[in-house]
Amino acid sequence: SVTSLETSFDPNVTIAKFKAQKWTPLKIAFVACNILLAAFWVVLIPSTFLKILIPTAYITAVLLPITSQFFVPASPIFLWLITYFTSRVLPAEWRPRISVTLLATLESVLFGANISDILTRFTHPILDIIAWLPYGVVHFVGPFVVAIFIWLFRQSAALKYWAFAFGYMNLLGVIIQILLPCAPPWYEIIYGSIPANYGMLGSPGGLARIDKIFGTKTYTGTFSTSPIIFGAFPSLHAGCSTMEALFIGHFFPKFTFAAWIYVGTLWWATMYLTHHYLIDVVAGACLSVIVFFLTMP
């Protein structure tokens, strides 16, 4: 993997590869949509410095072969990240109304009970730690571990499929969260059915108990100022873990069982920590399955 890396700094190499591409109308339209979406979020960024820095840095990284081999495949991930973090500056008049009771109602109708509520009735420090490890730790390092193992032990094209599927799954999930804002279980516990507004702070839910155990305010501070407070549906924690398990099962079949054990534990953790309803978890998993089978050959 290391010996096959491109080490050139000559932009002409990248330009030649660009010209060699077979540019079908569908591919041109797809790239254009990505550029327009990225431009939309860049324009919304309040800082003029960042408005100039972000596109300049990205274009430079794409032109240099030594960096373009990483930045081009990772473009869907960058598009997802700028969509997620910049969504906090969306004008209030553009934002849809927040639904407070939709998810709880759907869960009761579809599953016969509020499953997430049942899972939160009994808590214990040991259960808190078991839930915290996949939800608050492995979730953030897992994608990098999967990417590294695919890069080291499988074909070079496999990593591109991983970045493409993982990035667009998260991007689609964030867009749905922006267009269909829904209150998570912790909101129902704290506020009941009081109408929500975008000026409210988020809550760490059950992760507040982790802050208490370790004497920190890490999760309280992070979730209170999250860019998308009311992004319960779909659960991207469930989506990410499902995507990881699908890729592990495809490229490393021996670890399939262990991967799905992790997925099941994380799905439980999302509800136990009052961050998602069961319907959010199911939707996130379905989103991953759809994107995986649409993008993988």
Instruction: Assess contact for 128 and 209: CB atoms under 8 A.
Output: yes
Whether pTM > 0.85 for this model: the answer is yes
**The pLDDT of residue 4:** 66
Instruction: Assess contact for 275 and 184: CB atoms under 8 A.
Output: yes
Which CA distances in Å does 167 have to 159, 219, 256, 267? 12, 24, 22, 20
**The pLDDT of residue 3:** 60
- For residue 38, pLDDT beyond 90: yes
Instruction: Assess contact for 198 and 98: CB atoms under 8 A.
Output: yes
Least confident of 5-19, 34-48, 156-170, 207-221: 5-19
Q: Which residue has the higher pLDDT, 54 or 121?
A: 54
Give the torsion through C-alpha atoms of 40, 44, 45, 49, to 10 deg: 80
Closest by Cα among 130, 87, 81, 108 to 185: 108
Kindly report the average pLDDT of the chain as a whole number.
Answer: 91
Instruction: Assess contact for 238 and 266: CB atoms under 8 A.
Output: yes
pLDDT in tens, 147-158: 999 988 888 789
Distance between CA atoms of residues 238 and 257, nearest Å: 17
Hey, what are 142's tokens?
């897992």
pLDDT in tens, 90-111: 988 899 999 999 998 888 888 8
Q: Could you state, in order of their start, the residue ranges of all structural domains in the chain? A: 1-72, 96-295
- For residue 201, pLDDT beyond 70: yes
